[in-house]
A and B are shown apart, each in its own frame.
Chain A
Amino acid sequence: MTVFEYAPAPESAAIADVRASYGLFIDGEFTDGGGEPFKTVNPATEEALAEVATADQADVDRAVAAARRAFETVWGPMPGTERAKYLFRIARLLQERSRELAVLESIDNGKPIRESRDVDLPLVAAHFFYYAGWADKLGHAGFGPDPRPLGVAGQVIPWNFPLLMLAWKIAPALACGNTVVLKPAETTPLTALLFAGICRQAGLPPGVVNIVTGAGETGRLLTGHPGIDKVAFTGSTGVGRQIARQVAGTRKRLTLELGGKAANIVFDDAPIDQAVEGIVNGIFFNQGHVCCAGSRLLVQESVAAELLERLRTRMATLRVGDPLDKNTDIGAINSAAQLARIQDLVAAGEAEGAERWAPACDLPAQGYWFPPTVFTQVAASHRIAQEEIFGPVLSVLTFRTPDEAVTKANNTPYGLSAGIWTDKGSRILWTAQRLRAGIVWANTFNKFDPASPFGGYKESGYGREGGRHGLEAYLDV
């Protein structure tokens, strides 16, 4: 086979101006935090990028008070037409500064620049643009003639799509007339703080958006704060459960977008090459740090051998390395802790008898890396078939009949997403109807759009983000 050699094609890290230290963004101002500051690390080099403030109880109190004040005096009373224009402004500023934001996202998160540039940032701007248009049309959204906002939303987001998850949280909240206090993930706070600057450039009234940084304790202070009306969380099912218990009995509204263990089902009549691309995109996109990743491949027995051979061939062409290199397919694992979790589950897979394979693959000496990996001989009871790995690790199971495929696909407490590969239309619809999952990709995978509702069944959480459905999470209906 011809070997293609690629010259390095690095994007310039200098495009992003990383400051030595960052404060909290409260009431339109950057301020110090009362907690012990923490360092955010470039996972591709293990070098500290910046020191970031930790919000303590007093800081969260200030942020919630600022958001309340802004809700009552400015943002709540403001006509939807005016709110819309602020959001359109933000969308435009995001587009103008998307290169800078994409580089900063890749540096702080480890994701390939190709993904942050071509997927994350366009979706971020599109999300604000989409919900901007809703702000003055809420009476037509099917929630009554004049649906009211909830008030102050406390929002906690994960590290896998830092800015995109911020957009999914802030854009609909603001469009509906709420104000927000948002906590970005501890390992990826930088783009949220750059976004705070964009809010200032947009002239957004102080207190409408507040960003508090810190670890889990800051998140608990926020979600448990008596001054907020709404909690929105994206993250693990374990933490989602804790938040649901914390919120129980408080009358706060709650939406949760949690983990997944999606089945990607390949039938024997599937277009094999397209399916292989879909499988690769399903599990190796964003290093597999995707709640809706297609982490369980269910392949019909009669085509399993051929499919797996082509999959291995394709995996051998994936380039793992520098996130800022435009040729990179798989970047750095986001943190040492996440790498350890992936390694633990992979070790469990081997110990339980599954067969591990990864292409020969040079990994950089510094940084957190994991090669694209596939497990065959996986049983439904194995940990790698049950637990969310959140890394570039695929578990392969086989099936004989469509009924068996559906039963195996649904055999999980999760219910976020699923994939179907077949050329037969009636089989797509039959399978899609039976899968207990909030998003079903048929002959495609990992597609996202602000107009398309996203969210889970069962223990993958409740509420939808995106589309008309996404408004409900921020309206008093």
Chain B
Amino acid sequence: MSDRLTVRKTYKLYIAGAFPRSESGRTYVVNDAKGGFAANAAKASRKDVRDAVAAARKAQPGWADRTAYNRGQILYRIAEMLEGRHDEFTAELRRTGLSKADAAAHVDAAVDRWVWYAGWADKLAAVTGAANPVSGPFFNFSTPEPTGVVAVVAPDDPLLGLVSVLAPAIVAGSTAVVLASELSPLPAVVLAEVLATSDLPGGVVNILTGDRAELAPWLASHMDVNAIDLTGAAPDQAPELEGAAAGNLKRVLRPSGTDWTATPGIDRMTAFLETKTVWHPVGV
């Protein structure tokens, strides 16, 4: 056993590609599964939510303008970076109470999930778009487009659950503001470090830690957020959040009972797609 004192990490927010503390200066204590001190995580404020939404909005057109192939490559790069930090994530997950084998299996699955979604980037339009045989001399086609800025209330499964809701939200060109698990926020912050080194443009993903019941209503009612994923919302708060989301007719995703280890369907991606249909006359 070395006498060397370890250098601990400061767990901060991830906004616009940078790692700020909460502008409020607030933190909260995160304990490990045995009740011991793990870290002081940033406790984001309403202002942090607004900053994160502004960053996501700013990044969205550029991210959507990337070719689907390029977005797929970047998602694959995230998988590569995650694989490279396998041991670190395993250690983080063990602190949340998983056994070493379970923790490693979760990291494996999270890497594989990024790979799975990476491959979808340049296939979604072929599967969800259409050439429509209308009754007249028109060329008519439908293509999927990203909804815009997506707010994600992430589930408490701190890595695999988070990756499983984040990857589908951004793969088609939307950008995301994520409220990480309140109980186990630290893997989300380490994931932000992966995202920051994967050629993902700043602002495409913004991750906030803190009191989700406090922050979620600000996201649900934010007029510049286009959709909200309530997967991790408390059941007693979800109806209120859905009601607030009606203010600007956000698209609302509220699934129940998802098994994060199962291979996903495409419904999480299509939830944040709009269908655009273009008509043009055919003639000489």
A interface with B by C-beta (< 8 Å): 126, 142, 237, 240-241, 244-245, 247-251, 256, 258, 413, 428, 432, 437-444, 447, 449, 451-455, 457-459, 461-462, 464, 467-469, 477
Question: Closest approach, in angstroms, between the C-beta of B144 and any C-beta of chain A?
Answer: 10
**With known contacts A440-B279, A458-B249, A477-B267, A451–B242 Cβ distance under 8 A:** no
**Given known contacts A451-B134, A468-B130, A438 and B277 CB-to-CB distance under 8 angstroms:** yes
Using Cβ atoms and an 8 Å threshold, which residues of chain B touch A477? 267
**Could you write out 11 A-B pairs with CB less than 8 Å apart?**
A249-B239, A249-B243, A447-B136, A447-B138, A447-B279, A449-B134, A455-B275, A459-B248, A462-B249, A464-B275, A467-B130
Smallest beta-carbon distance B112→chain A, Å:
23
Q: Give Cα A447–Cα B137 distance, bound, in whole angstroms.
A: 11
B135 close to A (CB within 8 Å)? yes
- Decide if B36 is an interface residue (CB 8 Å cutoff): no
Smallest Cβ-Cβ distance to A413: which chain B residue = B248
- B136, B239, B242, B249: the one within 8 Å of A258 (CB): B249
Using Cβ atoms and an 8 Å threshold, which residues of chain B touch A439?
276-279
Chain B residues whose CB sits within 8 angstroms of the CB of A442 once the complex forms: 278-280
Contacts of B240 in A (CB 8 A): 248-249
Task: Give the secondary structure class of B's interface.
Answer: mixed
Given A237-B249, A468-B130: A449 and B280 within 8 A (CB)?
A: no
Q: Contact between B276 and A244 (Cβ–Cβ < 8 Å)?
A: no
Chain B residues within 8 Å of A447, by CB: 134, 136, 138, 279
B213-267: which residues lie under 8 A (CB-CB) from chain A? 226, 238-240, 242-243, 245-249, 251, 254, 267
Nearest chain-A residue to B267 (Cβ)? A477
Question: A249-B243, A438-B276, A452-B134 are known contacts; what are 14 more A-B pairs with Cβ within 8 Å?
Answer: A241-B247, A249-B239, A250-B239, A438-B274, A439-B276, A444-B280, A447-B134, A449-B132, A453-B275, A454-B277, A458-B248, A467-B130, A467-B277, A469-B275
Given A467-B130, A467-B132, verify A441-B279 contact (CB < 8 Å): yes
Q: Is B40 an interface residue (CB 8 A)?
A: no
Q: How far is the CA of A452 from the CA of B133 in the complex (A)?
A: 8
Task: Tell me if A444 and B249 are in contact (CB < 8 A).
Answer: no
What is the number of contacts between chain A and chain B, taking CB atoms within 8 Å?
105
Q: What's the nearest-Cβ distance from chain B to residue A184, in Å?
A: 23
* A453-B277 contact given A126-B135, A469-B130, A477-B267, CB 8 Å threshold: yes
The reply to whether the CB of B140 lies closer than 8 angstroms to some CB of chain A is: yes
Does the CB pair A249–B279 fall under 8 Å?
A: no
A contact residues around B27 at 8 Å (CB): none
Pick the most buried of B246, B279, B281: most chain A CB atoms within 10 A of its CB.
Answer: B279
Task: Among B274, B276, B281, find the residue whose CB has the most chain A CB atoms closer than 10 A.
Answer: B276
Is A438 within 8 A of B275, CB to CB?
yes
Q: Which residues of A contact B245 (CB under 8 A)?
A: 244, 248
Q: Are A449 and B140 in contact (CB under 8 A)?
A: yes
In the docked arrangement, what's the CA distance between A260 and B226, Å? 17
Known interface pairs A449-B136, A451-B132, A468-B130; A437-B276 also in contact (CB < 8 Å):
yes
- B127 near A: Cβ within 8 Å? yes
Residues in chain A near residue B276, CB distance under 8 A: 432, 437-440, 457
Residues of B within 8 A of A248 (CB): 239-240, 242-243, 245-246
Tell whether, in the assembled complex, residue B249 and residue A240 are in contact, meaning their CB atoms are under 8 Å apart: yes
Q: Which residues of the other chain, A, contact B226 by a CB distance below 8 angstroms?
A: 458
Question: Which of A237, A458, A468 neighbours the largest number of chain B CB atoms within 10 Å of its CB?
Answer: A458
Interface residue? B31 (CB, 8 A): no
**Contact partners of A428 in chain B: CB under 8 A:** 280
With both chains docked as a complex, state the minimum distance between the C-beta of A424 and any C-beta of chain B, in angstroms. Answer: 12
- Known contacts A440-B278, A441-B279, A444-B280; is A459 also within 8 Å of B246 by CB? no
Residue B198 CB within 8 A of the other chain = no
